[in-house]
Amino acid sequence: MNIEEFKSELLKLNINLSQEKLAKLEKFYELLITWNEKINLTTITDKEEVYLKHFYDSLTLIKAIDLTKDLKLLDVGTGAGFPGIVLKIVFPNLKITLLDATSKRINYLNEIIKELDLKEIETECTRIEDYSRINKDKYDVVVARAVAHLGILIETIMPTVKVNGYFIAMKANVLNEIAESNKILNQIGARIIQCEEFVLPKEDSLRTLVKIQKMTETPLEFPRRFDKIKKDYLKNK
């Protein structure tokens, strides 16, 4: 996906990028490639593939939530900064927390934030199951892109979501995981309200946005210890 194709496809999502935002995305790409030589961030380094599979893919979140609103958003397992950094560049109104358990990635993300002069964005170096125990009912929206089994994500993430707020899982084929997550959805007081399937332009690979609304306060026993959570969902994997 070249720059013109990128801009054209974003217009279909009602995203019209200014030259300033395009320049920041370009600088982000250059910094990503430079840092990728030092630490393992992504196997995708070709510019057109990064714009398609990382930048455009991150922005498809707008299919599930109005990102022009002043939302407090948590990006779980952000890794190289997808979708969080891209969202912040394109939608500076968002207040974003980037969460990752690897200190090298957090150091990289802090440098990206500094180099791009991004405001109202912070980083947290910890695991989500630990973070959620002390940050309950904090975010309007929480997003996780290709991180873990949906059931694991629901249990570890939903405590951080405000009542009536949303967790949006960005995944590929997720039908089996949805079926395996019905029990925890009921236990934790949440429900799937949207399941948006689409394909990426040019390569037609499947993507799914699973939008889950928090209906009630999370019971105090959640999240459980991670070894117990993992056992429920990975026993047959």
Please tell us whether the domain made up of 3-234 is placed in CATH 3.20.20.140: no
Instruction: Encode burial over 185-224: b for 16+ CB neighbours within 10 A, e otherwise.
Output: beebbbebeeeeeeebeeeeeebbbbbbbbeeebeeebbe
* Sequence spans of domains, the chain: 3-234
The pTM score is: 0.96
Predicted confidence pLDDT, tens digits, the chain (237 residues): 999 999 999 999 999 999 999 999 999 999 999 999 999 999 999 999 999 999 999 999 999 999 999 999 999 999 999 999 999 999 999 999 999 999 999 999 999 999 999 999 999 999 999 999 999 999 999 999 978 899 999 999 999 999 999 999 999 989 899 999 999 999 999 999 999 999 999 888 999 999 999 999 999 999 998 888 888 876 544
**171 in Cβ contact with 208 (< 8 Å):** yes
